[in-house]
Amino acid sequence: MTNREKLDQEELRRYARHLALPGFGMEGQQKLKAGRVLVIGAGGLGAPVLLYLAAAGVGRIGIVDFDRVEETNLQRQVLYTVQDVGRFKAEAARERLLALNPHISVEVFTVPFSRENALELIAPFDVVVDGTDNFPTRYLSNDACVLAGKPLVYGSIFRFEGQAAVFNHLLEDGQRSPNYRDIFPTPPPPELVPNCAEGGVLGVLPGIIGSIQANEAIKLLAGIGEPLAGKLLVMDAANLATRILKIPKTPGLEIRELIDYEQFCAPTPPAPVREISVQELQGLLAQNADIQLIDVREPYEYGIANLGGELIPPGEIPASAARIARDKMVVFYCRSGKRSAEAIRQLRQQEGLDNLCNLRGGILAWAREIDPSMKQY
């Protein structure tokens, strides 16, 4: 036993329930203290991962996240409080984790996780946990772990469904378990996977999946149990149905270098739509121009902030074509401009309308550039 792994009297008291656990005991706790875990993303998944790794006594925890805490994060990101809004997530997380367990060390990296720094960031750590919510970073973290020979604990959430797995785990025969590309060789089109802001997510779901990720990381460090290597756990929080699917390795799959992941995950450019800036719309409204405003969001979003447009939720677009003017400019808007652009494409194809215009940047751009007092979400 090295001095780094030795537990002092206070730690013996703190971790007493681990020490009494058959098959874990002193040896398992010492391995945790010597363990090093890098968590990429301190959001919905990263929050429970970090809390439980810190509480369990993982000796060195790294956090990569350059986002700041927003009010809408508090519905699911349980590391943070109202007082943290505006702070870097990684820095607020470090403060909370050290308050929870002063016997650990926490390093923060308030930078984007990129192909330029990925291998350098993961090099000092034993296990990497992916708590991100976008495909470019998922592929990057997977490929970097494969190249560096590190196990990757994966998790994802969407609406009511969550997934978890352990990728690139070193098996007893010296081989590595399947990785993310064995399940998803190529990313799905982004329009089929809306983000949490537009698709929603049950607040407790990241807590459940993140706790599973923390469990897998602890198992890897302590050398206990059977990790989710070569398996994908799928959970539906709406009915608590779970499945564990076997992941086969893809013959001939080889990762040789880190690539441009934004380009790799970029979809085929959609058909362009006519756009108008928020400044141009402000001018038209000030002139009382004869235009029609259509808001293609959900009713709850309209209740948070709106521009006074007529509300037609996305699911009602096909049946609401008769409500859309044919003889004047019609400006569609949504939260960011994505859904409204899709609505215009749909109506242009189905109804042949050519008088439709998309508000570039949507409500977010209006709040940012025209009315900073408007609530963002």
Give the catalytic positions in this structure.
196, 334
8 Å CB contact between 333 and 295: yes
Q: CB-based contacts of 258: which residues, under 8 Å, 6+ apart?
A: 115, 118, 119, 140, 143, 144, 147
In what side-by-side order are the strands of the sheet with 275-276?
Answer: 275-276, 356-359, 329-333, 291-295, 310-311
Q: CB-based contacts of 321: which residues, under 8 Å, 6+ apart?
A: 347, 350, 351, 353
**CA pair distance 99, 32, nearest whole angstrom:** 19
Residue whose structure tokens are 């702070």: 87
**CA pair distance 38, 120, nearest whole angstrom:** 12
Distances (CA, A) of 195 to 83, 85, 199, 336: 26, 21, 6, 11
Burial label for 124, CB within 10 Å (0-12, 13-18, 19+), is: exposed
